[in-house]
Amino acid sequence: MGARGGLELFSGEGAPTPLQGVDIRLTRPCAACTIETLEFDDASIKLQTHWIEREIQGELRRLVDTFPVVVLVGPRQVGKTSVAERALPGFGSVSLDLASLADLADRSPQTFLDRYPSPLLIDEVQYAPGLFRALKHAVEQRRGQNGLFVLTGSQSFPLMHAVSDSLAGRAAIVPLLGLSGGEWRAGCPAETSWRDFLWRGAWPALWADPDGRPTRDRWYQGYVATYLERDLRNVLNVGSLRDFERFLRVCAARTGQVLNISDMARDVGIAPATGRVWLSVLQAANLIVLLEPYHRSFGKRLAKSPKLHMTDSGLAAYLMGFQSAEALWTSPQAGALWESYVVGQWLRWRDWHHPSVNLWYWRDDAGHEVDLVVEADGKLHPIECKLAERPDASDLKGIDKLRRFYGDEALGSASVACPIGESYEVAKDTWVRSGWVAWEDV
């Protein structure tokens, strides 16, 4: 392999010899695509790659045309670098995962930028906090010019702190999670079931190569170990990695539930203050999201604590110990994981397409609840998440309570997200829809 994707093949010393009837399968460390086959004859080379198209690619190109800096943040292995390289083939690329490059960028940022000129994709940029002032200077020197730098990072708190200090008003920020349901369905074999997607998870590496992909359990084993041993030590000093892993598993077990940090800390045997710090670390890594309660209460008492959701159902299922999609789907935890999955689809929809939209949940003091409330254009669009394919009147109680609480004029369309294919109207202004993907007409 040559630099930046160049390919050289030799059958021996000296001049290359034509290869006939050879089928070679190569897999490269790419989160979203693989080289599948190279077929040779004496006249041509046929290259086939498997790439799962990402919804954000077009938006990324538009942002590069309108901002000098674009920042992609998300967990490791969701395909940030692969998406940027695919969408922006004219950009150079350098990763600060390599310690020597991170040290150069941090200690001698101008030398680094002279060596790697714009337009430039810088991967894992949070490892060089000293680079941001030089980036600010480079942007100011080329005022009015867009598409100079694309930055990626997997630890959003230190990255966002650096961006807000040096690049405020100059950078567009786009969160990136794993595959959406729509991306997965469009890019993977039709015979693969939705239930398998929920159990396996949305990480592109688990789907990119149908024949050569890693086993699900081994991949997650390595991912968790790498996160604990590498990223965690870079964020804070944890006395016991074993306790932190237990805390991560407690988060998975409580996905879809109202946050109770005291109970979670007690389950692990740590102080609540430590639990709050660790929770913020998981948020920084984009492995969890805290969905806040809708707060326009009109003086009535509503829930004040957020709901905890794992951002990937497959990672949650692995941490819970589920070894098959069938075991997961028939378990008591299936409903909570389904809710987190649906919330995750709407997070992607909001972050990738409609960043001005707000996402909430709603719960009153009597325990009536709506799992997800999409606030768009001054209207509330309630979404209940139910495993039943044919929800009944009892499944609509939360929506009915919300409607009475705020009035018909405050609400837009209401929906029940179920694991189905076709939508249908279940009551006036209330539809049962497929929760596998987010829909546009909220």
In a domain, 30, yes or no: yes
Pair (218, 117) in one structural domain: no
In a domain, 418, yes or no: yes
Range of the domain at 149: 56-175
Pair (139, 271) in one structural domain: no
In a domain, 440, yes or no: no
Pair (134, 264) in one structural domain: no
Q: According to the model, what pLDDT value does residue 242 have?
A: 85
How many Cβ atoms are within 10 Å of 136's Cβ, its own excluded? 18
Query: Is the separation of the CB atoms in 257 and 333 below 8 Å?
Result: no
Pair (355, 334) in one structural domain: yes
Token output for 263: 């109970």
Pair (283, 346) in one structural domain: yes
Report CA-CA distances (Å) from 366 to 293, 300, 304, 401.
15, 11, 13, 10
Pair (117, 206) in one structural domain: no
In a domain, 267, yes or no: yes
289: number of CA atoms within 13 Å, CB side?
A: 25
Query: Is the separation of the CB atoms in 381 and 417 below 8 Å?
Result: no
Pair (270, 285) in one structural domain: yes
Q: What is the CATH number of the domain that holds 96?
A: 3.40.50.300
Token output for 68: 């000098």
Structural domains in the chain (count): 3
318: number of CA atoms within 13 Å, CB side?
A: 22
Q: Quick one: which of 425, 430, 396, 397 has its CA closest to 412?
A: 430
Q: According to the model, what pLDDT value does residue 167 have?
A: 81
Pair (45, 125) in one structural domain: no
Going by their DSSP bridges, the two strands 307-310 and 257-258 should be labelled as antiparallel
Q: What is the pLDDT of residues 349-379, one digit of tens each?
A: 999 999 999 999 999 888 899 999 999 999 9
In a domain, 16, yes or no: yes
- pLDDT tens, residue order, the chain (442 aa): 333 344 444 334 444 444 444 444 443 344 444 444 444 444 444 444 567 899 999 999 999 999 999 999 999 899 999 999 999 999 999 999 899 999 999 999 999 999 999 999 999 998 899 999 999 999 999 998 999 999 998 866 667 777 777 788 889 999 999 999 999 999 887 788 999 999 999 999 998 766 666 789 999 999 998 877 776 666 666 667 788 889 999 999 999 999 999 999 999 999 999 999 899 888 888 899 999 999 775 555 567 899 999 999 999 999 999 999 999 999 999 999 999 999 999 999 999 999 999 999 999 888 899 999 999 999 999 999 999 989 888 899 999 999 999 999 999 999 999 999 899 988 888 999 999 999 987 7
Q: According to the model, what pLDDT value does residue 346 have?
A: 98
Query: Which residue, 175, 200, 215, sits at the end of a domain?
Result: 175
- The model's pTM is 0.86
In a domain, 439, yes or no: no
Query: Which residue, 175, 193, 219, sits at the end of a domain?
Result: 175
Query: Is the separation of the CB atoms in 170 and 151 below 8 Å?
Result: no
Q: According to the model, what pLDDT value does residue 190 have?
A: 76
Q: Is 314 exposed, middle or buried (0-12, 13-18, 19+ CB in 10 A)?
A: buried
Q: According to the model, what pLDDT value does residue 5 have?
A: 40
Q: According to the model, what pLDDT value does residue 40 have?
A: 44
Query: Is the separation of the CB atoms in 271 and 35 below 8 Å?
Result: no
DSSP state of 167: -
Strands (E), 25-101: 33-40, 45-51, 69-73, 92-95
Pair (33, 162) in one structural domain: no
Pair (298, 414) in one structural domain: yes
Report CA-CA distances (Å) from 254 to 228, 247, 259, 264, 335.
20, 11, 8, 9, 12
Element spanning 172, H or E = strand 171-175
Token output for 358: 């707000």
